[in-house]
Amino acid sequence: MTIQRRQFVAAVGGVAAAGLAGCTAAEGDDDAPEISGETLTLTTTTSTYDTGLLDELNAPFQDRFGVTVDTVSQGTGAAIETGRSGDSDVVMVHARSQEDEFMEEGYAINRRDLMFNDFVIIGDADDPAGIGGGDDAIEAFQAIAESESTFVSRGDNSGTHTQEREIWDEAGLGADDFGEWYQEAGQGMGEVITQTGQSGGYTLSDRGTYLSMITETDLEIHVEGPVEDGPEILSNPYGIFAINPDVHEHVNYDLAMAYIGFLTSLEGQRIIEEYTVEGEQLFFPEALSEDPNFAQYVPEDWTGGESDD
């Protein structure tokens, strides 16, 4: 199919552009780019927005290129859907399975690993299910279910919700096993943390949002993620990708690639590394690596575009 070839060419070109954009960003701003004055629409998850990280990243990007970044924070599911309809130019989310699906459908191109942090199981300080100090997320979920302690789920198809379902799956528990103790909030992480605090239960949170709310909540971390040597199932990688201009002609592809280039450049990665709340680092840069990980550009198990649709 010609479309496949066009997509391939676009992908290669895009990676080159990302590299160039990264160089431009590193060298300085003597080379006035043509994208000046334009507006980039970014859809992203509530976690990157609510922690305040995006403000730190967007300000220098806007200054350097003379552009505006409009950030719309939604759940991962909604952020991807907004990209699917071509209403955003670039998407930053944390649910690899959904990102892969989106790439396979041809909507997303030039995906880059951006950064990671981890999920933590937080809950009431009394710890009614007795999971505190454990280092197995699956066992912890099983203990919560067994003791029928309140568990507040995002229930909004976000990246965190996707991860939560995966852990329940691994724990061998599903919708049939959930009683009244399992509550779907259908809201953002911050609201869910507040709600969990009110009901004295447990929830799964990304560490960043939890830390950014640490003064507003009495909840404590009971099971740590990989950042504190916890289990790998609690890792929380963020990816960023551009919307395919071959699918949606009008998207601002050049600016999207400049943005991806900036965030994955030395400067962008340093901002991510140095961003702290209450003295704690929230995100860990992942774009710069001695060992290139080519799997980040294509969906896992990708067969070279031989899908039959």
Partner 1 sequence: MPLESPTLPVLLAEFPFEWNYIRSIIVVSLYVSITAVVLSTLVSIPVALLVGFTDFHGKTLVTSIINTGMGFPSVVVGLLVLFTVSNEGPLGSWDLVFTTEAMIMSQFVLAAPVITGVSLAAVSSVEQNVRDAAFAMGGTRTDVALVTIKEARYGIATAVLAGFGRAISEVGSVLIVGGNIASADGTSVTRTLTTAIQLEARQGRFETAMILGTILVVLVLIVNAIVVRLGNGGGGRYG
Question: Which span (59-67, 94-102, 226-234, 301-309) binds partner 1, by CB under 8 A?
Answer: 59-67
Binding mask 19-58 for partner 1 (x = CB under 8 A): ----------------------x----x---x-x-xx--x
The correct pick among 127, 132, 139, 248 for binding partner 1 (CB under 8 A) is: 248
Torsion of CA 293, 299, 300, 303, to 10 degrees: -110
Q: Does 69 bind partner 1 (CB under 8 A)?
A: yes
Residues 274 and 284: their CA atoms lie apart, in Å, by: 9
Q: Does 59 bind partner 1 (CB under 8 A)?
A: yes
Q: Does 242 bind partner 1 (CB under 8 A)?
A: no
Q: How far apart are the first and last CA of the chain?
A: 11
Q: Does 89 bind partner 1 (CB under 8 A)?
A: no
Residue type, 76: T
CA atoms within a 13 Å half-sphere pointing along the CA-CB vector of 90:
28
Q: Are residues 150 and 241 in contact, defined by beta-carbon separation less than 8 angstroms?
A: no
Smaller CB separation from partner 1, 230 or 245: 245
Q: Are residues 226 and 234 in contact, defined by beta-carbon separation less than 8 angstroms?
A: yes
List residues bridging with 239 in a β-sheet.
93, 113
Smaller CB separation from partner 1, 116 or 275: 275
Q: How far is the CB of 189 from partner 1 (least distance, A)?
A: 8
Binding mask 200-219 for partner 1 (x = CB under 8 A): ------------xxxxxx--
The correct pick among 7, 33, 64, 71 for binding partner 1 (CB under 8 A) is: 71
Q: Does 186 bind partner 1 (CB under 8 A)?
A: no
Question: Which span (69-77, 153-161, 232-240, 295-303) binds partner 1, by CB under 8 A?
Answer: 69-77
233 CA to centre of own chain:
15
- Among residues 251, 285, 283, which one has the least CA distance to residue 268? 285
Q: Does 68 bind partner 1 (CB under 8 A)?
A: yes
Q: Does 87 bind partner 1 (CB under 8 A)?
A: yes
Q: Are residues 151 and 183 in contact, defined by beta-carbon separation less than 8 angstroms?
A: yes
Q: Are residues 279 and 113 in contact, defined by beta-carbon separation less than 8 angstroms?
A: no
Angle at 272 between CA 71 and CA 54, to 5 degrees: 15
User: Count of residues binding partner 1 (CB under 8 A)?
Assistant: 35
Question: What is the SS3 assignment for 44?
Answer: strand
- Give residues 274-303 in contact with partner 1 (rule: CB under 8 A): 277-278
Q: Does 85 bind partner 1 (CB under 8 A)?
A: yes
The correct pick among 48, 73, 150, 205 for binding partner 1 (CB under 8 A) is: 73
Residue identified by tokens 């191109």 is 109
Q: How far is the CB of 57 from partner 1 (least distance, A)?
A: 8
**Cβ-based neighbours of 223, under 8 Å, separated by 6 or more:** 120, 121, 131, 134, 135, 136, 137, 140, 230, 234
Q: Does 250 bind partner 1 (CB under 8 A)?
A: yes
Q: Are residues 45 and 92 in contact, defined by beta-carbon separation less than 8 angstroms?
A: yes
CA atoms within a 13 Å half-sphere pointing along the CA-CB vector of 305:
11
Q: How far is the CB of 31 from partner 1 (least distance, A)?
A: 22
Q: Does 92 bind partner 1 (CB under 8 A)?
A: no
Q: Which residues make up the interface to partner 1 (CB under 8 A)?
A: 41, 46, 50, 52, 54-55, 58-59, 61-62, 68-73, 85-87, 187-188, 190-191, 193-194, 212-217, 248, 250, 277-278
